[in-house]
Amino acid sequence: MTPGKNVVNAIIITVVFAVGGCMTTRIEETKNVSTGIKKGEAVVILASSYHATNPAEDSFIECLSDAVIGGRTGLNVHPASEFKDALFPWLEPRTAPTGVDGLPELLKRPGVHERVRERDIRYIIWIEGDTERKSGGGSLSCAAGPGAAACFGLAWWENLSSYEATIWDLDDGVASGKVSTSVNGTSVVPALIIPLPFIARTQAAACNGLSKQLRSFIVETG
C-alpha cells in the first residue's frame, strides 16, 4: 500500500468514527402514581391498536420483550399472543381500549378479570411509534471487471426511531405513566475501493434505552 493510500484510508476511518458517533438518544418519563411489582407478577407488552394510533413494528415488540426480561431487575414478561387469545376478542385492534378510561369496562367484562388474575398480570404496556428515514444523500458507485471490483463515493442517511410506552396498572385500574424514547442516528457508507458501512442502529438503541427505563419505572417504587 502506498503512503498516499494510507493517508486517504486514515482520513476515511477518522470521518467514519466521527460521523458514527452521531447517534443521539432522548428518554422521557412521566409517572402518575406509585409503581412496584411483586415476585411472581408479570407484565404483558402489546402493540397499540392500528385503529387509534401508530403501532410499533412486530420486530420492536419482540426486541423490547426480550430486553425487558434481562438484567438484574428483569421483569417477568407474559407472552402477548397467549394473553390476547385468553382475552379474545377484547384486545383485538377493533376492541382494545384506546385509553385508560376503557380499562374498567374491559376488566368488568365477564371472565376477563379472572383470566388476568390467573396469569398474575400486573401491568399492560402499550407500545406505539416507529422507525423512519428522515433524510439521505450522497453517491456511491461500484464497478467490476475481470479480476477486480471497486466502489467509490459516500452515501449517508438519517433514521429516527421514536417510541412511547404507556403503562396501565391492572391492580389499581389506572394509567401509571409513560416512558418515551427518541433516537436519531446517521449511517454512512464511504467507499474508496472497499465500502465501509457504518450503520447507526437506531431501532436497537431505542429498544435498549426503552427497556432499561421501563424496568426502572416499574420496579422502583415511588
Partner 1 sequence: MFITGCARSVTVLSDFPEPVVEPLPLAIGIRYPAELAEYVHVEDPMMDAEWTIRLGEANMKMFRVLFASMFDEIVELEGTAAGEGAEGVDAIIEPRLEELEFTVPRQSGNDQYTVWLRYNLRILSPEGKLIGDWRITAYGQEDEGSMGTGAEDSMKEAAITALRDVAASIIIGFTSAPGVQTLLPPKQAPENDQAG
Considering the complex, what minimum distance in angstroms separates the CB of residue 27 from partner 1? Answer: 25
Residue 95 found at the interface with partner 1 (CB under 8 A): yes
Q: Per CB under 8 A, does 85 bind partner 1?
A: yes
Only one of the segments 16-24, 83-91, 147-155, 187-195 lies at the binding site for partner 1 (rule: CB under 8 A); that segment is 83-91
Q: Measured from the CB atom, is 35 or 203 closer to partner 1?
A: 203
Name every residue whose Cβ is closer than 8 Å to that of residue 62 and which is 6 or more positions away in sequence: none
**Least spacing, CB of residue 87 vs partner 1, in Å:** 6
Cell of 215: 424496568
Binding to partner 1 (CB under 8 A) within 96-115 occurs at 109-112, 115
Distance CA 164, CA 26 (A): 12
Which pairing describes strands 121-145 and 42-47: parallel, antiparallel, or unpaired? parallel
Which is closer to partner 1, CB of 35 or CB of 49? 49
Name every residue whose Cβ is closer than 8 Å to that of residue 200 and which is 6 or more positions away in sequence: 20, 22, 23, 159, 185, 186, 187
Question: Contacting partner 1 (CB under 8 A), which of 28, 62, 66, 92?
Answer: 92
Question: Distance between CA 94 and CA 97 in Å, rounded?
Answer: 9
**The one among 44, 64, 87, 204 contacting partner 1 by CB under 8 A:** 87
- CB within 8 Å of 143: residues ≥ 6 apart: 149, 150, 151
CB of 71 to partner 1, least distance (A): 27
Is position 89 an interface residue for partner 1 (rule: CB under 8 A)? yes
Number of residues that bind partner 1 (CB under 8 A): 19
Place of cell 426486541: 63
| Cα 134 to Cα 42: distance, rounded to the nearest angstrom | 36
Q: Which of 43, 46, 90, 186 binds partner 1 (CB under 8 A)?
A: 90
33: amino acid identity, one letter: V
Q: Which of 30, 50, 134, 135 binds partner 1 (CB under 8 A)?
A: 50
The DSSP result for 150-194, as a single string, is EEEEEEEEEEEEEEEEEEEETTTTEEEEEEEEEEEEEEEEEEEEE
Q: Does 59 bind partner 1 (CB under 8 A)?
A: yes
Nearest approach, Cβ of residue 130 and partner 1 (Å): 10
Which residues contact partner 1 (rule: CB under 8 A)?
Answer: 50, 57-59, 85-90, 92-95, 109-112, 115
